[in-house]
């Protein structure tokens, strides 16, 4: 059975030349909870309270809020250092930074000296600080890519992703490659499986997700169809026999 596969890291796009720069899938939860209760809910059912890293994610979150409610909790709070920090699913925090601040006029104002958590306004998507004990609906997110730190063959990895998530990842652009690169940093193997496979009978590589190969990132000497499967090394793709056991990256959503 002379077939080949590939592994790397990915994000999905439906059409050649169209890529997604949004790394999260947002979920509106219509239950009124305090900020801490909302955070616990998101961590248990999804990944974390909504985090915003760029304008594309801001637009995506605003679209998810359409026709929902007036204010929702997002994952921004004032840490012990006095700085606004985004809550992360691993229990850590990262700085709000300057690039994507979206405060309403006059905010944050720390009214009454006790407003240390942040809501997003449905009306215009701007932010306001509020008491963390106030009750609001909230936005959670799911990571679109999941690194699985298990060493499986390519077929086992494909089955795992389809049983527990959606599919093995497909990489369709340089932008997607960069997202996948970040996810793969925590892999326990030097290479990680991707959802790219080779068929010797017809002589071509294909993404098992069904997407066209619009972007390629082969390491020199790879991608010629000489091995059974491939994976990623040095941020490039290499072909490998499919019975090797590696970590892998799954997608958590369908297009």
Q: What is the pLDDT of residues 13-25, one digit of tens each?
A: 222 333 334 457 7
Higher pLDDT, 120 or 99: 120
Higher pLDDT, 22 or 147: 147
Nearest-angstrom CA–CA distance, 85 and 92: 9
- Compute how many other C-beta atoms are within 10 angstroms of the C-beta atom of residue 137: 20
Q: What is the pLDDT of residues 68-88, one digit of tens each?
A: 667 999 999 997 778 899 887
Q: What is the pLDDT of residues 80-115, one digit of tens each?
A: 778 899 887 655 556 655 546 789 999 999 999 999
Q: What is the pLDDT of residues 34-46, one digit of tens each?
A: 999 999 999 988 8
Q: For the whole prediction, is pTM greater than 0.85? A: no
Asked if 184 and 169 count as a contact pair (C-beta separation under 8 A), the reply is no
Cα–Cα nearest to 10, from 243, 208, 239? 208
Nearest-angstrom CA–CA distance, 245 and 150: 8
Q: Where in the chain do CATH 3.10.100.10 domains reside?
A: 3-20+144-251, 24-142
Higher pLDDT, 10 or 69: 69
Q: Residue range 6-33: average pLDDT?
A: 54
Q: What is the pLDDT of residues 224-234, one digit of tens each?
A: 555 555 565 55
pLDDT at residue 60 above 90? no
pLDDT category of residue 214 using cuts at 50, 70 and 90 = low
Note the CATH number of domain 3-20+144-251: 3.10.100.10
Spelled out in words, what is the top-level CATH class assigned to the domain 24-142? alpha beta
Task: Write the CA distances from 27 to 45, 47, 51, 75, integer angstroms.
Answer: 10, 10, 12, 13
Higher pLDDT, 192 or 70: 192
């Amino acid at each position: 059975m002379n077939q080949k596969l590939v592994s790397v890291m990915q994000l999905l796009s439906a059409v050649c030349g169209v890529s997604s720069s949004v790394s999260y899938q947002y979920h509106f939860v219509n239950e009124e909870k305090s900020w801490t209760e909302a955070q616990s809910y998101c961590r248990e059912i999804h990944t974390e309270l909504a985090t915003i890293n760029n304008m594309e994610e801001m637009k995506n979150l605003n679209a998810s809020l359409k026709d929902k409610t007036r204010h929702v909790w997002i994952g921004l709070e004032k840490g012990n250092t006095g700085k606004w920090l985004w809550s992360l699913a691993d229990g850590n925090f990262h700085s709000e930074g300057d690039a994507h601040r979206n405060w309403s006029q006059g905010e944050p104002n720390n009214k009454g000296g006790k407003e240390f958590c942040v809501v997003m306004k449905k009306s215009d998507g701007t932010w306001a600080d509020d008491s963390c004990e106030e009750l609001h609906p909230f936005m959670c997110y799911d990571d679109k890519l999941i690194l699985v730190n298990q060493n499986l063959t390519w077929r086992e990895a494909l089955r795992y992703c389809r049983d527990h998530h959606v599919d093995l990842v497909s990489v369709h652009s340089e932008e997607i490659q960069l997202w996948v690169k970040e996810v793969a940093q925590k892999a326990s193997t030097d290479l990680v499986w991707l959802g790219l496979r080779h068929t010797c009978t017809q002589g071509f590589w294909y993404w098992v997700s069904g997407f066209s190969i619009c972007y390629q990132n082969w390491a020199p000497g790879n991608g010629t169809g000489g091995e059974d499967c491939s994976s990623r090394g040095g941020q490039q793709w290499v072909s490998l026999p499919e019975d090797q056991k590696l970590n892998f990256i799954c997608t958590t959503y369908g297009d």
